[in-house]
Amino acid sequence: MADKKQKKVQYFNSQAFVDKVLQDCELGDVSTQDRAELSEQIERRLSERITAVVINGMKDKDMDLYEKVLADHPELDDMDALTIIASGLPDLQIKLLKAIQDLYEELTYDARQIQRAMDNRTAAEQVML
């Protein structure tokens, strides 16, 4: 009998965010290894940002519930447990959307600035010809 991997239930899909950031940064020809490392770093920053927003919105009873969810459901990781608990926190969706958008802007800002500088340089070179 073939060993089947149990598919993990996922409540939060960070890969869509990572893919969007990488796409919008227009990195060009980046090695597979570099892209994987960037993806990992972006996903870690996203997880940290979301975790901070959720934890800041939690009360003691929410923290107790979070610990219970983790203990009772070992198949869940921290992010999934936070996502479950977060559904009961007031105004959390608005705070999360803002935090995610802010992170997106931070991560893509430098890429846009570099692209603008390159465009300006190209335009200046064409004028000088």
What is the C-alpha separation between 13 and 10, in angstroms, rounded?
7
pTM score of the predicted model: 0.68
DSSP 6: P
Q: Encode pLDDT of 86-122 as tens digits.
A: 778 888 888 888 999 999 999 988 777 776 777 777 7
The single-letter DSSP state of residue 90 is T
Three-state DSSP class for 16? Answer: helix
Tens-place pLDDT, residues 40-72: 999 999 989 988 988 888 999 999 998 999 999
